[in-house]
Structure 1
Amino acid sequence: MTLQELTHIASQLQTILAEMQRPRSKTLGSITGKRYDNCFFPPHVLPSHAFSSYSEFIDMYRYILLHFCTEKFTEDLLSKLPRHAPIRFAHADLLPRNIMVDGTTITAVIDWATAGFWPGYWEYCRMHNPEWASPGWDRVLGLVFPEERRSEEIKAACYLNRIVMDYFWV
């Protein structure tokens, strides 16, 4: 795709992301207000309710990590994430495979299974997951998020996801 075509897609994606910021919640969990029900957290380690705060969300990751990681490793990894994060609605899997495009028009966003209320950085980090990098996608992300890439934050969030997927969904 040309730079002009990618710019048009990026503009549409910015609008979609802005609209997704409108729903509000005081808890982190599914869109229904209940706990997450998706692949990012296995049901047997989740509390029976939505997370009441960002610190409770981070404490759950700490609890998971400390089962098989040292305390130093756990704290170093978690320190790469923001200490405070607003709660935002996110698709949580907004990657090229879930964005339907006809020419240069986004016609649909599919696979809302992971959607819910997440820390404000979650969508950003998921979208920047290096597993999905490609010249076109990286160009779109650079247009949607023109500020300097938050590489350490991205790596930490992606690593947390990978740990949960690898160790709890075997």
Structure 2
Amino acid sequence: MGNISDIIEKYLQQMLAASDSGMVEIKRSELADEFQCVPSQINYVISTRFTVEKGYLVESKRGGGGFIRIRRARLHSQKEYFADLLLHIGETIPQITAEHVISRLQEDQLLTEREAILIKGIISRETLQLPLPLRDELRARMLRSMVSILFGRLGG
């Protein structure tokens, strides 16, 4: 059994998968009660595991009738998906954000596990032993190039 963050993430992903609308709406305090954790643990899971780079959109409303709404971002075309990826990569990208982009490509079955591991190795700080911000700039250039090649291969 994983840690509480992994368990909460898996639970929310299962809820999303079961949802006809591709969206779930939760109350942070109710979910915290269900998992017997503090509400900040729910915030942590949502802010680190359900990011735009990973293909999720999150809305929240605080207060008595507050909620957190999570939905999977679905883009309508390969061209739109490609443009969204390039936007999130930008001119510089830290390693963790780049890894989220790669995970998203893998989850969307655009990369195999082996390809994802290879790309993560190529863009890692251990491989790119350069000072910041040069390292993040080079990582972004490499990732944009790999994504462009990937979408060229897909005919997008």
Give the structure-2-normalised TM-score.
0.24
For the pair shown, the structure with the greater C-alpha radius of gyration is: 2
More helix by share: 2
Provide TM-score, normalisation by structure 1: 0.23
Higher relative contact order (CA 8 A, sep 6+): 1
